[in-house]
Amino acid sequence: MPKKTVKIPAYRHHKGSGQAFVQINGSRRYLGKYNSEKSQERYRRLVVELLATPVALPKPGKDGPAPVGFGSELEVVQITAAYWQFAEGYYTKDGRPTGQVPIVRQVLGILREFYAHVPAVEFGPLAIRAIQQHFVKRGRARHTINHFCGVIKHMFKWAASHEMIPVAI
């Protein structure tokens, strides 16, 4: 799988406030007072995290920049978008998508349909049961439903491993 190149954002100065910032995915992330050791440390940490993340960080919501790391208020739709970007590259063999790709697409579509704007930290076992019941009503076999729920669990484990949500989720 070819590696995606990550464009390292520039360390910039916001003259109006005197703060340092970087621009990622069209949103500004303020780092603290310009040229301070603390802001430069935050910049270095952000660059390292960007280089370690194989997908672009989610775009912020309409309420401002999405915080990086634990305690972020990412919605399920943002997690599914990032996971889809990962899955398209991960589930390939000899440069072609495997049979897992349409399954992931279907499951993520159901998640977006019912839970798009629910904070990811609020998605829990009751939501999984509701999705299971949805698939039961659609006449899916138990094995298929379990596989679909496994995709959801894998997505949340993946998101936790990339520090998009707390591990406890």
- E strand or H helix at 105, and its extent? helix 100-115
pLDDT value at 68 more than 60: no
Do 153 and 80 belong to one domain? Answer: yes
Q: Is 138 a member of any domain?
A: yes
CA–chain centroid gap for 64, Å, is 17
The predicted pLDDT at position 64 comes to 40
pLDDT in tens, 94-130: 989 999 999 999 999 989 888 888 889 888 888 888 8
CA distance 49 to 139: 43
Do 42 and 111 belong to one domain? Answer: no
Do 93 and 143 belong to one domain? Answer: yes
Do 97 and 42 belong to one domain? Answer: no
Do 48 and 80 belong to one domain? Answer: no
pLDDT value at 86 more than 60: yes
Q: Is 133 a member of any domain?
A: yes
Do 42 and 103 belong to one domain? Answer: no
143/114: higher pLDDT: 143
Do 80 and 156 belong to one domain? Answer: yes
Q: Is 62 a member of any domain?
A: no
Do 115 and 152 belong to one domain? Answer: yes
Q: Is 3 a member of any domain?
A: no
**Domain encompassing residue 45:** 12-52
Do 44 and 96 belong to one domain? Answer: no
Do 82 and 45 belong to one domain? Answer: no
CA distance 164 to 124: 16
Q: Is 168 a member of any domain?
A: no
Q: Is 37 a member of any domain?
A: yes
CA distance 151 to 156: 9
pTM: 0.60
Q: Is 70 a member of any domain?
A: no
